[in-house]
Amino acid sequence: MLEAQDVEIGYESRPVIHHASFRLHEGEISGVIGPNGTGKTTLLKALSAVLRISAGKVVCGAGAERRDLHCMSRKEVARLVGVVPQLAEYGGAFKVADVVLMGRYPHLNGLFSFETPADMKICEASMELVGVGHLHDRYMGELSGGERQLVALSRALAQETKILLLDEPTAHLDPKYQMTVLALLRKLTRDRRLTTVVVLHDLNLAARFCDRLLLLNRGWVHAVGTTSEVLTPENIADVFEVDADVAESSDGYPHVLVKGVTNRYV
């Protein structure tokens, strides 16, 4: 479980996230949606303790094992939280296998410890799972943007954390790989009982693959709930400033059809 308790985040004196409170559960994919510039990436950085919060708590675990992530060391956090950034850049001189192996660093015993055959096996399995095993010896600089994102996902899986945070993991992927990656995330989340948080722009992808949605509006949590509870014409109009119809698709998911903008000057 991952819980934000009245979290506030800002850059210098400028507040970005205001009094955010929500609870995300294991075995579920939670999608973070909202307009550009509303604080989605900032919130994700706070949930991974990369960005310090100015107030509140980010708590993980359950019962007596509940801990505040912002009171833990970076290595402790890295054993619990895996992150796939929006633009995964690891330097063109690294081979794919080397980047994925970086995911095992939090599990090494010391500064001068080396990866074991078991670590290597975990990395190979994660590459095969994501579909980049054939890129094992390729250099990152040779890969497309989509391939680099898949390698970043493989690295996060090799980290073997219970919480997985992904910032627009489908941004550089074609429709086939968008569906493939999100279906894989859903399966892994359920099979491994992960708590997965995904920032998405495509509302229909969010509706299809997420169990719950967190809708942000100008740094405030506008709505939290199931996809059907959050993706309503009213919420979409209030936050995205567009008129939209929301109907149930043939496979049972909400489907959003945008008809036009609500601002008559556009």
Q: What is the pLDDT of residue 112?
A: 55
Distances (CA, A) of 111 to 23, 82, 117: 35, 20, 18
pLDDT digits (tens, 9 = 90+) for 208-232: 999 999 999 999 999 999 999 999 9
Query: What does the pLDDT look like over 38-97, one tens digit per residue?
Result: 999 999 999 999 999 999 999 998 777 789 999 999 989 999 999 998 766 677 788 999
% of the chain exceeding 90 in pLDDT: 70
**Count of C-beta atoms within a 10 Å radius of residue 193:** 12
Structure confidence at residue 113 as a pLDDT band (50, 70, 90): low
CB atoms within 10 A of CB 231: 25
User: What pLDDT is attached to residue 61?
Assistant: 83
Report the pLDDT value the prediction gives residue 234, as an integer from 0 to 100. Answer: 95
Could you give the CA distance from residue 205 to residue 143 in angstroms, rounded to a whole number? 25
State residue 49's pLDDT score: 93
pLDDT at 65: 78
Asked if the model's pLDDT at residue 171 lies above 90, the reply is no
Domains parsed from the chain with CATH numbers:
2-261 (3.40.50.300)
**pLDDT tens column, 131-151:** 899 999 999 989 887 888 889
pLDDT score at 264: 53
- pTM (2 decimals)? 0.90
Is residue 152 scored above 60 in pLDDT? yes
Yes or no: say if 152 and 86 are a contact pair by the CB < 8 Å rule: no
Averaged pLDDT, 257-263: 86
Model pLDDT for residues 176-190, shown as the tens digit of each residue = 888 888 998 999 999
